[in-house]
Amino acid sequence: MNDRVVITGLGALTPLGNNWRDTWSGLTSGRSGVTRITQFDPSGLPTQIAGEVKNFVPADHMTVKQVKRASRASQLAIAAAREAVADAGFGASMEGIDTAVVVNSAVSGFAEIQEATELVNSGDSRRIPPRFVPSALLNMAACEVAIDLGIHGPVNASALACASGAYALLEARTMLVMGDADVVIAGGVEAAITPVMFAGLNAMHAASKNNDSPAEACRPFDADRNGLVFGEGAVIFVMELLSHARARGAQIYAEVLGGALTSDGHSIVAPEPTGKFASLAMTRALIKSKLNPSDIDVICAHGTSTQANDRAETSAIRQALGHNADSIAVTAPKSMTGHLIGAAGALSGLLCALSIRTGIIPPTINYTTPDPECTLDYVPLVAREKPVKFALANAFGFGGQNCIVAFGAL
């Protein structure tokens, strides 16, 4: 029992809602959170849509001092962490509880860097706030969560691009098993909806330009997909050893069984086209979690809605799961939220945990025209009720970083 790790609390701010329950309601109802960008005027850019967190008022979640000091990413992380801690049955502070923090990100701080650069270029560098440098650092969301909750155990932040959020769960699991803490606040965050980011995505030809129909723009595995939709958000978990959770009578959503990492070693942008090394990560995750391919009920796909990624992922699933692949539900939440980058893998973890808890698998929306090279059961358009005992979350990052996390029911 001492190496069994469970999820006991959830927190989320996503394009579908400013708490985990609204996010889950949006996922299961097949609602899109993709809209025209409001954080800046996107009129001059080819892509003008994103998955934004809407109606977020930082002052509702933290002090005025924190609002002034913290980046948007840190603000989202604090709010999600507070929700997760409350959901787990803890108080407003973790003082006196042996707690660690792992909040990963990929490009958070981007907005602060762009703002400061504009001030320098305009000759107005004296207006750069003293908080600029620390607030823009990738580790600051994790540190802000620790400061806010009074946490004095290990605090860590890793960047694995789009696999960052998923890896946070594996890092947290290792900390708990190694005895570094009794409780870990873990997850992913991203907030980088800026003109420079979108100009860069357009330069890569990576983003959908379906500006007239934002809700239909992200179409994972659909033959008519034409690029990813960039998003933002924070998804945070409270994780504990099973023995610790049971001793305090905590609710349990799911067990984090284990996972694995591999590298494509192929490209800084494109996946290895055969899916060979993503498949290897899936196989290793199954082995480490003591699961067989036939055990898996659902896979939360990375499903970016790009031609190359969706085909490589389909191939990887078929290689890893063999003949079982056709009987496994494969769902792609990015069809509703867009790509939350550093928080994307954490959102996939939330979907896996709640599918196990509720027996509901969210759909892949906008899947209307099958791609002959993508031939799995993508749970098209409508959520499905089905008992879920074991689930996998796939996360693949720029540079070829593959991270797979396995979840199970108790």
Mean pLDDT score, 246-253? 97
Burial class of residue 178 (count of CB atoms within 10 Å of its CB; 0-12, 13-18, 19+): exposed
Residue 299, classed as helix, strand or coil, is: strand
Convert the pLDDT of each residue in 279-329 to its tens digit: 999 999 999 999 999 999 999 999 999 999 999 999 999 999 999 999 999
The residues annotated as belonging to the active site are 162, 302, 339
Distance (Å, rounded) from C-alpha 237 to C-alpha 172?
A: 10
Structure-block tokens of residue 365: 């929306």
Model confidence pLDDT, tens digit, residues 148-164: 999 999 999 999 999 99
pLDDT of 3 reads 85
CATH number for region 258-408: 3.40.47.10
CA 252 to chain centre: 20
% the chain with pLDDT above 70: 100
Residue of 163, 229, 189 whose CA lies nearest to 79: 189
CATH of segment(s) 5-247: 3.40.47.10
Q: What is the pLDDT of residue 108?
A: 87
pLDDT in tens, 350-399: 999 999 999 999 999 999 999 999 999 999 999 999 999 999 999 999 99
Q: Please give the pLDDT value at position 287.
A: 98
Average pLDDT in the chain: 97
Q: What is d(CA 335, CA 218) in angstroms, rounded to the nearest whole number?
A: 5
Positions of CATH 3.40.47.10 in the chain: 5-247, 258-408
**Which pTM value belongs to this model?**
0.97
Is residue 343 pLDDT above 70, yes or no?
A: yes
pLDDT surpassing 70 at residue 1: no
341 token code pair: 């980058």
